[in-house]
Structure 1
């Protein structure tokens, strides 16, 4: 429990084990909020034309690997309730959070500060509550009992976000020219849904540490709910701050989807910076394949003059190498690329 950031109160300086090497620190220079990150309106002018909506999604996923989604159909009250109950969880007494704390990554529902705390050279300024949520009836019983409304709120929220994720994957499927239902009908490809509530407490010196380091998501597609800034995306060697929009989702393309698209779609590299005065809490949904699922470029996208950029592998093997490569600061997809 002493590893958790949310129980360390009144820190006046950043502990040495959280201070990044100079070349990895965010530094004092403020990253301005970016106005060019695509915002896709599901009910706007393009939203009324499915062809144009698909084109917007593909263009954003190709150029940025990330976009914001508004008027997406998930009720505002449910969004606010999900953020509220996540904040309430991290505000629970320490003894209540201790019940769920675990260093074991195989535990179904757990509260932790790092995937593998002991292997990290430097720790990050974040606590995470993570658990599977599909099928809901198999996992809900293992979720936190406190706050009392957590299971009901997150159950409803995860179901709505899963529907939205599959809808977006249908759009991407169409935009890539894949057979209809490529993602939805392959239960192995979208079998797993994980939910994470992330909490970044105020930090005495945000220039020295990070909430999360530079990384790309390893799954298919990620949907993030945030209400304050802190997320930054790397584009053309420059960090861009993602402006929080009211009731919007940030959608990230994951490494797995980049591989299936044979490199057409881009997995966005991103990080999270801390705040000197304010805590930041987010709710994130990850759609991912089953461990035994074979990942490779879709056959429809591999042609005589367009060879596969990546070799086939199981998702379980990729997860193992992703963690190792991330700790060693190596590009996690490099080992799976064909040398052309």
Structure 2
């Protein structure tokens, strides 16, 4: 199917999924952002300053140095890249190939998973969960899997090809272990008790896959708006096409897709628990005019009713910056304020 700038996809027949479009000659009007929200035409190069953390050294004398690098990266950039993370390249490649195959699948197959239910074990949607009420849409489709406990969700995931569930389950387990390792290193760096981030504070895990087809005019639209992640911690497997950008000192910088690396982004809950000592990077996704881009994210999310507040040992003489709240209370405030991190956090400041 082809679209021109005056064509709006039909919600009823799944044409709203950009992965179902065979070609796009010009950008549909509903994807053109106001001038002040467009990424513009200037090329933003990949930054060479974003920290790259080598986890191969955490079991030896280099552990303390790795911890310090992670804490400094969380403070200065609000994100970092990790190599030698323990997830095999073979598993990463297999999982990426399966997700690319899913988005290339026929529309009737993908239609089985289309849902706006946040609690669905597996849901496919486009732009955001609020597509029908948006004034302008993001240039992306998304497939999200709930992963914990695995046995509650895996039977709702795609079953074609037959090894899909086995591979994605193994991937979710391995990246979950990786994120738990990062959180334990952050514990050490902040002086928190061991396993502080286990249990209800990291109870839920999502694997979230974004897919962006080639865009006729990347200067007019965006793959994902500038935002901070509201959860505890996030990681991203980028693939080989640039698109992720982070805000550093008021300027956008590109995050280079390194082979066999994960990008780690502390969520806003880490910012609160650390009493403001750690940052969460503002980041966005831009589109590409020639190539599709598929990325795999994994998020650790607190249970809705868990109490979140600054850790006692981090309050110090400056006092507690944020009051306690449940994650559900925070998430409702975050979404009702258009996902503006600073506006949402202001509601919980002491």
TM-score normalized by the length of structure 1: 0.95
CA RMSD of aligned residues (A): 1.6
Secondary structure of residue in 1 paired with 2:247:
strand
Find out whether 1:81 has 2:94 as its counterpart: yes
Equivalences for 1:131-146 in 2 at 5 Å?
Answer: 131-146=145-160
Find out whether 1:331 has 2:337 as its counterpart: no
Find out whether 1:293 has 2:306 as its counterpart: yes
Structure 1 residue aligned with 2:212: 200
In 2, are the aligned partners of 1:41 and 1:47 still within 8 Å (CA)?
Answer: no
* CA deviation profile, 1:234-254 (whole Å, cap 9, x unmatched): 011100000111100000010
Structure 1 CA distance, aligned partners of 2:346 and 2:96? 36
Equivalences for 1:23-62 in 2 at 5 Å?
Answer: 23-43=36-56, 48-62=61-75
Secondary structure of residue in 1 paired with 2:81:
strand
Find out whether 1:176 has 2:155 as its counterpart: no
> Cα gap change, 1:133/1:328 in structure 2, threshold over 3 Å: closer, same or farther?
closer
In 2, are the aligned partners of 1:109 and 1:129 still within 8 Å (CA)?
Answer: yes
- Picking from 254, 275, 279, the partner of 1:266 is 279
Structure 2 residue aligned with 1:127: 141
Structure 2 residue aligned with 1:238: 251
Structure 2 residue aligned with 1:11: 24
* CA deviation profile, 1:135-190 (whole Å, cap 9, x unmatched): 21121111111232221111000000111111110000110111122112xx1111
Structure 1 CA distance, aligned partners of 2:59 and 2:49? 17
Deviation at 1:91, TM superposition (A): 0.7
> Cα gap change, 1:4/1:300 in structure 2, threshold over 3 Å: closer, same or farther?
same
Structure 1 CA distance, aligned partners of 2:305 and 2:214? 40
* CA deviation profile, 1:81-123 (whole Å, cap 9, x unmatched): 1111110110111110000011333323110011211332311
Q: Where do 5+ consecutive residues of structure 2 fail to align?
A: 1-13
> Cα gap change, 1:335/1:177 in structure 2, threshold over 3 Å: closer, same or farther?
same
Find out whether 1:106 has 2:129 as its counterpart: no
In 2, are the aligned partners of 1:102 and 1:111 still within 8 Å (CA)?
Answer: yes
In 1, are the aligned partners of 2:57 and 2:66 still within 8 Å (CA)?
Answer: no
Secondary structure of residue in 2 paired with 1:244:
coil
Q: Where do 5+ consecutive residues of structure 1 fail to align?
A: none
Find out whether 1:166 has 2:175 as its counterpart: no
Find out whether 1:117 has 2:92 as its counterpart: no
* CA deviation profile, 1:50-84 (whole Å, cap 9, x unmatched): 11111010000111110000011111100111111
Deviation at 1:329, TM superposition (A): 8.6
In 2, are the aligned partners of 1:221 and 1:257 still within 8 Å (CA)?
Answer: yes
Aligned residues: 335
> Cα gap change, 1:57/1:66 in structure 2, threshold over 3 Å: closer, same or farther?
same
Structure 2 CA distance, aligned partners of 1:288 and 1:150? 24
